[in-house]
Amino acid sequence: MRNSLGLKERNLSQRALSPRKLKSYRRVSGPEAWHRAALAINASLNPEDALAAIVRQACALTASRRSAVYLLNGEADALQLMAGHRLPDGLLGSRLSVGQGVVGKAFRGRSVLVTNAADPLKQDQCLGHRLAAVPLVARRKRLGVLQVARGPKERRFNSSDIAELEWFAPLAAQAIANAQDFYHSVRADMILTTSHELRNPINLASGALELLEKYLEAPTALQRESLDLAKLGIERASALIGDLLDLECIERRVGMRLGRCDCAVLLNSIGLEFRLWAQDHGRALQMHVPDRPLRVWGDERLLQQVMSNLVDNALKYTPPGGCVTVDARAEAGQVILKVSDTGPGIPLDAQSYVFERFYRLSDQPDEVKGAGLGLTIVKSIVEQHGGRVWVTSQPGQGSTFTVSLPALDK
């Protein structure tokens, strides 16, 4: 299964050392072993191969029974188990909240030793009774955590094991970063090229439908329905291509025009844009925007796109008779923008996925269309401005999307 990081979750149980070999496998320190490990993890720029080599070498260097790599999934704000050596079934792809348990502590920036796990059934301790975990940091950026484990009858981890892992972790993190950079570069080029190439056949099909519609003087009901369905399909494909191009341009910072931007003026403009639609469809739109400026350094067009998307979604998910509220304020050096609705809310198990590419909730209202890229674009724009966006929701009680942007000093 491939996730938003572009990596397949992978369990190497089929390639792992056999129990007999593992018992006779002793940790070897020194330049020769380190050199072999460094060569192995940098042998490929394929992200999956790099992770596979890392978990194998981690076990070899520390004579551990199991190992795992958790990587930060920024779209879900969680640590996701992406690769492992002899993992229990069902663990790959699982997620832990940032800061949770042994893995969370290691991610915060310090190595962790567990000599005898208090509860081996816990998700963050289920690799074994004896655990060691170190952060994976490359280019001053936290990527995730490398964890190794042993059984209850095996030797406890000690400071030497931690030293071995702390030597290995920066090399592993750099290998992961290099592979991810290569993957994202290739993916971005492929998306841009493919999207541009697809526009020509879509334009041809659209023109052919218009010509066909023109010469069908009295189309039958079946012909009219077929034409409408074809036009709808072309419109959706065209919108998807547009969203993909927008997202790649945003992530590459192509065409961004930064300057002083007043979020108060921007929100008042959005209120005027959506108020008439809300009235016509039986929704209330309340704008709580201060009279004073709320200045940030950003691209006004892109920030307008962020808030328009959030307000548009909130109105469409809110049933007739409901209310959408937009709040804005300055607080602790940040400009805080909130969009709240009285819609059905978001299921708890879906909230960590809503910003991922192509994710769509089930039972969408008829007004909500698209391929599931809107919130991904929102998150990318906000992060390009040095901010954060998140959602809080209770099923049956509506949702609140919050955007936090660095305030511009006076």
Whole-prediction pTM: 0.54
Report residue 4's pLDDT band, with 50, 70 and 90 as the boundaries: very low
Q: What is the pLDDT of residue 113?
A: 80
Check: CB of residue 88 under 8 Å from CB of residue 193. no
In the DSSP assignment, the letter for residue 322 is -
Sequence-distant (6+) residues with CB within 8 A of 388 are 382, 403, 404
Q: What is the pLDDT of residue 335?
A: 95
Q: What value does the mean pLDDT take over residues 103-120?
A: 76
CA pair distance 341, 327, nearest whole angstrom: 12
SS3 328: strand
Q: What is the pLDDT of residue 262?
A: 94
Percent of the chain topping pLDDT 90:
26
Percent of the chain topping pLDDT 70:
81
Q: What is the pLDDT of residue 108?
A: 84
Dihedral angle computed from the Cα positions of residues 16, 19, 23 and 26, in that order, rounded to the nearest 10 degrees? 0
Q: What is the pLDDT of residue 162?
A: 86
Q: What is the pLDDT of residue 268?
A: 93
In the DSSP assignment, the letter for residue 332 is T
Report residue 258's pLDDT band, with 50, 70 and 90 as the boundaries: confident
For residue 190, is pLDDT > 90?
Answer: no
Sequence-distant (6+) residues with CB within 8 A of 246 are 377
- At which residue do the structure tokens 């003026």 appear? 265
pLDDT (tens digit per residue) in 370-391: 567 788 889 989 988 999 999 9
Report residue 155's pLDDT band, with 50, 70 and 90 as the boundaries: confident
CA pair distance 259, 245, nearest whole angstrom: 23
pLDDT (tens digit per residue) in 172-186: 999 898 888 777 766
**Which residue did the predictor score with more confidence, 337 or 26?**
337
CB atoms within 10 A of CB 221: 7
pLDDT (tens digit per residue) in 295-322: 999 999 999 999 999 999 999 889 999 9
CA pair distance 265, 286, nearest whole angstrom: 15
